[in-house]
Structure 1
Amino acid sequence: MTALADPEERGALEVDPAVLKKIVEYAADTASATRHRTRRVAGLGVGEAGPSAKVRSRGADELDVRLWLTLTYPGAVRAAVAEVRERIAADLLRMTGRRLGRFTVEVDALQADGPARTDTARVR
């Protein structure tokens, strides 16, 4: 059995930005306070959309993340965002060795936690 070369001589691991984005979106999607929202085109439901992220490298081991998501309503927005941040930071560090730097969240919608409301006519 041959001995491994020193880490500096073996090369480096590069993680594609698309993979980093998927890690962030999955971590946000699995948080308890996040929800999928209905995607609509011309007023018609065309499926669901989960959290969406934009990830930028900030040096060798730090990432800036901008995240768009839907949260449950009613609920504590700050607590939900803190949970999402912790989950993303832990997953990035565990899977890629990269740290979460700047973290920006835009809450697209608040969705009631319960049975779906049926659409009713607005004008009678």
Structure 2
Amino acid sequence: MSSLPDPEDRGRLDVDPSVLRKIVEYAADTAPATRRRTRTVAGVGVGESGPSAKVTPRTADEVDVRLTLALAYPGPVRAAVADVRERVTSDLRRMTGRRLGALTVDVDQLQSDRAPEPARVS
């Protein structure tokens, strides 16, 4: 017999929203259809970034997420977003016990996997 009190009597675990955000961004970044976004300043390329998320607690065990990401082009957008939703839902539940409430996905870039064609010089 265990001498520990019941789990609900032992205390609680608070997961900082920044940790939840990192979990969501990683889950989205590992989806096959997501791509790194090209970052520019004044039209000049300055690198790449992955998906970015804003996580808002709805209740003690549920969060709403707004996610901005780039997807592969051409490709089925709805299927890609469904996969991202499944990954985010699964990772949040497995790692923190939180449930995903509303998920808003903003696709801000579509990126081709094809190599650019060489420029023609006439």
- SS class of match (1:31): coil
Identity within the alignment, %:
69
Give the Cα–Cα distance (whole angstroms) in 1 for the partners of residues 118 and 34 of structure 2: 23
Letter in 1 for 2:3: A
Give the Cα–Cα distance (whole angstroms) in 2 for the partners of residues 118 and 43 of structure 1: 21
Q: Which runs of 5+ in 2 are unaligned?
A: none
Aligned to 1:89: 89
1:43-100 superposed Cα distances (whole Å, 9 cap, x missing partner):
2111101100000011111110000000000000000000000000000000000111
- SS class of match (2:22): helix
Pairing 1:42–2:42 present: yes
Q: List structure 1 segments (4+ residues) > 2 angstroms apart after TM superposition.
A: 117-120
TM-score after normalising by structure 2: 0.91
Aligned to 2:66: 66
Give the Cα–Cα distance (whole angstroms) in 2 for the partners of residues 16 and 118 of structure 1: 46
Aligned to 1:9: 9
- SS class of match (1:80): helix
Give the Cα–Cα distance (whole angstroms) in 2 for the partners of residues 8 and 80 of structure 1: 38
- Please give the root-mean-square deviation of Cα atoms over the aligned residues, in Å: 2.0
- SS class of match (2:4): coil
Letter in 1 for 2:64: D
Give the Cα–Cα distance (whole angstroms) in 2 for the partners of residues 90 and 97 of structure 1: 10
Counterparts in 2 of 1:84-123, with a 5 A limit? 84-115=84-115, 117=116
Give the Cα–Cα distance (whole angstroms) in 2 for the partners of residues 72 and 28 of structure 1: 13
Give the Cα–Cα distance (whole angstroms) in 2 for the partners of residues 23 and 15 of structure 1: 11
Give the Cα–Cα distance (whole angstroms) in 1 for the partners of residues 118 and 50 of structure 2: 22
Q: Which runs of 5+ in 1 are unaligned?
A: none
Aligned to 2:56: 56
Q: 1:97 to 1:41 in 2, by over 3 A?
A: same
Letter in 1 for 2:63: L
Give the Cα–Cα distance (whole angstroms) in 1 for the partners of residues 8 and 92 of structure 2: 22
TM-score after normalising by structure 1: 0.89
